[in-house]
Amino acid sequence: MKGIVLFIGPPGAGKGSLAHMCVKQLGWVQLSTGNLCRKHIIEQTKIGKEIDFAIKSGNLVSDVLITSMVEEWLLQEYGKQPVVILDGFPRTAEQAKLLNNLVETKFKDLSVQVVTLDIPDTILVDRLSSRIICQNKDCQAVYSLSEGSLLRPAQDMVCDFCGSALGRRKDDEYEAVKERLTVYRRHEHGLLAFYKASNKSCIQLNVAQPITEVFKEFQEMIGLNTI
Ligand code: ADP
């Protein structure tokens, strides 16, 4: 398989967790636009200062800015690995159009595979209220404090991968979560309509099941043997 895989879904659907499994087990490479934005904020770059408020309050960064960040990353990573996952991009129909232009002009040999992840908002709110992430800006691994979850860290509040402290994201507070879900649903229809109209290959994943099952189903759907 070769190309760009787009993970499209509301906050809490598990885009980052699924992408992480693809990176670890399939050797793909992932760009999480959310992680990239948080890295800019922690490093207090010019972009970081510009987007800080939008992120904390659960709003989107501008289409042009986020697309230029994705373009810069793609230019660096292009060709290093056969499959690139974009996790959390595009999020609006405008971003989808901008990405389409980019692929047509600069990454002509890359096919685009759309993967949608969706479950009801009530489950998403629950998931986000128990989510914690690694505070190391270069790691940002995602965990859950839910009883019995497969995503619980081995040691309390310590990252399994890099040993840094775990903590809550500011935008996982209840008010920001509600805003993020509203913003996602506002753009969802236009975004999916764009891909439907452009005849891109589209896979719908059932993500209301344990992450290992989601990963298995995903591999089957894209034609990878899971045995
Ligand atoms: P989630 O999908 O759980 O909301 P992310 O970590 O993907 O979280 O994104 C966090 C925040 O980063 C978003 O609420 C938004 O402010 C910003 N962001 C990430 N991706 C985009 C994008 N494609 N367009 C605009 N803003 C984005």
Torsion (CA) 203, 217, 26, 6 in degrees, nearest 10: 20
Q: Amino acid identity, residue 47?
A: I
Q: Amino acid identity, residue 2?
A: K
Q: Is the CB of 194 under 6 A from ligand 1?
A: no
Probe ligand 1: pick from 31, 71, 180, max atoms within 8 Å of CB?
A: 180
User: Is the full-model pTM beyond 0.85?
Assistant: yes
CA atoms within 13 A on the CB side of 137: 10
Torsion (CA) 121, 32, 55, 9 in degrees, nearest 10: -20
Give the CA angle between residues 7, 11, 12 to the nearest 5°.
95
With a CB cutoff of 8 Å and minimum separation 6, the contacts of 110 are 2, 3, 4, 84, 103
Alpha helices by DSSP H, listed for the chain, are 15-26, 33-42, 46-56, 63-77, 93-106, 121-129, 174-197, 211-221
Contact 211, 17 (CB under 8 A): yes
pLDDT digits over 57-106, tens only?
Answer: 999 999 999 999 999 999 998 888 889 999 999 999 999 999 999 999 99
Is the pLDDT at 225 greater than 70? The verdict is no
Q: Is the CB of 89 under 6 A from ligand 1?
A: yes
First to last CA, the chain: 18
Ligand 1 atom 6: residue of nearest CA: 34
What is the distance in A from the centroid of ligand 1 to the CA of 224?
A: 29
Mean pLDDT, residues 171-181: 94
Among the atoms of ligand 1, which is closest to the Cα of residue 95?
23
Q: Is the CB of 11 under 6 A from ligand 1?
A: yes
What is the distance in A from the centroid of ligand 1 to the CA of 40?
A: 13
Task: Determine the 3-state secondary structure of 165 from DSSP.
Answer: strand
With a CB cutoff of 8 Å and minimum separation 6, the contacts of 169 are 38, 131, 133
Can you give the pLDDT at residue 2? 79
pLDDT digits over 2-51, tens only?
Answer: 799 999 999 999 999 999 999 999 999 999 999 999 999 999 999 999 99
Probe ligand 1: pick from 31, 52, 59, 60, max atoms within 8 Å of CB?
A: 60
Mean pLDDT, residues 150-168: 96
Instruction: Please choose, from the candidates 145, 135, 120, 118, the residue with its C-alpha nearest in 3D space to the C-alpha of residue 203.
Output: 118
Burial class, 56, CB count within 10 angstroms (exposed 0-12 / middle 13-18 / buried 19+): middle
Probe ligand 1: pick from 55, 121, 170, max atoms within 8 Å of CB?
A: 55
